[in-house]
């Protein structure tokens, strides 16, 4: 298994400089153990608001709070050494005003140690992105399907088909002109993703887009087969860890019912045992 050989922690300018180069590898993480697993293989680790659905059982990302993002961001930070850590700004934490956006983004950066934040929206969020980036907050944009606007879209539908392609293209351009160092393209037609990648002078990170994007991102629980039966078309399952875990749990449950666990090797006696002259518990 190959891993990216980093000599130092990756920064937002490093990511921006990778435009048109070796594709950027990105995954989500929400816990310290997963962060440690993905760190040396990824360029970007995103603490996504998808945590609400993946770990908290919420029906969408709309119920995710700033406190949840900070808590999971702190956990991920403890597991990273090299990858660039980005934290999602949750719904309602940046839309009200420029001042609200800066106050909450600054809190996220200060309390988690992340190097950048991600927020959803294109032309409508350009002023906010410009306000943040001009005040020292690196921003990754997110256009196409933006899950926080799922009610506006009427579901998790492909964006940018037909005449709607111009809107998505204009959103990506607006994000770049506002100062974002990269932009996620979610659930857009391949031809449109290729066009935007060619036209926008910052890295595009695809999810349900095109292999021509400058990088790819997936929810780690999806690609490892942990997150139940959720199988969107754009996800490739690289493992089925959920099935493996359930099988192990079933064996454990049966051994408990059969009184085969715990066995002698798992128990403590009244006096310490000695092995090769040494005392063990």
| Residues identified as active-site | 186
Determine the Cα–Cα distance for residues 168 and 231; give it in Å rounded to an integer.
25
| 49 is an annotated ligand-binding site residue | yes
Determine the Cα–Cα distance for residues 276 and 117; give it in Å rounded to an integer.
56
The β-bridge relationship of strands 273-275 and 278-280 is antiparallel
| 120 is an annotated ligand-binding site residue | yes
| 3-class SS of residue 36 | helix
Give 80-148 as a DSSP string: -SSSEEEEEPPTTSSSS-HHHHHHHHHHHHHHH--SEEE--BSGGGHHHHHHHHTTT--EEEEEES-GG
CB atoms within 10 A of CB 273: 10
Q: For residue 116, what are the contacts with CB-CB under 8 A and spacing of at least 6?
A: 12, 84, 85, 86, 87, 137, 138, 139, 140, 181
| 88 is an annotated ligand-binding site residue | yes
Q: For residue 277, what are the contacts with CB-CB under 8 A and spacing of at least 6?
A: none
- The H or E element that residue 221 is part of is helix 220-223
Annotation: binding site for 3-methyl-2-oxobutanoate: 49-50, 88, 118
Annotation: binding site: 49-50, 88, 118, 120
């Amino acid at each position: 298994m190959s891993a990216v050989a980093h000599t130092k922690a990756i920064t937002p300018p490093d990511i921006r400089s990778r435009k048109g180069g070796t594709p950027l590898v990105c995954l989500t993480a929400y816990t310290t153990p997963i962060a440690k697993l993905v760190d040396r293989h990824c360029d970007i680790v995103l603490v996504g608001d998808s945590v609400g659905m993946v770990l908290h059982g919420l029906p969408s990302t709309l119920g995710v709070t700033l406190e949840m993002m900070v808590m999971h961001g702190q956990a991920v930070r403890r597991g990273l050494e090299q990858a660039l850590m980005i934290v999602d700004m949750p719904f309602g934490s940046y839309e009200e005003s420029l001042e609200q956006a800066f106050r909450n983004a600054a809190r996220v950066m200060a309390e988690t140690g992340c190097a950048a934040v991600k927020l959803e929206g294109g032309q409508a969020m350009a002023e906010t992105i410009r306000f943040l980036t001009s005040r020292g907050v690196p921003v990754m944009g997110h256009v196409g399907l933006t899950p926080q606007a799922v009610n506006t879209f009427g579901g998790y539908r492909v964006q940018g088909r037909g005449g709607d392609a111009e809107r998505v293209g204009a959103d990506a351009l607006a994000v770049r002109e506002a100062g974002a160092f990269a932009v996620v393209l979610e659930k857009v037609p391949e031809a449109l993703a290729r066009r935007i990648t060619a036209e926008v002078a910052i890295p595009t990170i695809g999810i349900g887009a095109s292999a021509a994007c400058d990088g790819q991102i997936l929810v780690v629980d999806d690609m490892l087969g942990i997150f139940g039966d959720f199988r969107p078309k754009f996800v490739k399952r690289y493992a089925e860890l959920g099935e493996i875990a359930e099988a192990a749990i079933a064996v454990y449950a049966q051994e408990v019912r059969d009184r085969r666990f715990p066995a002698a090797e798992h128990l403590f006696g009244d006096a310490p045992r000695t092995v090769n002259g040494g005392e063990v518990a």
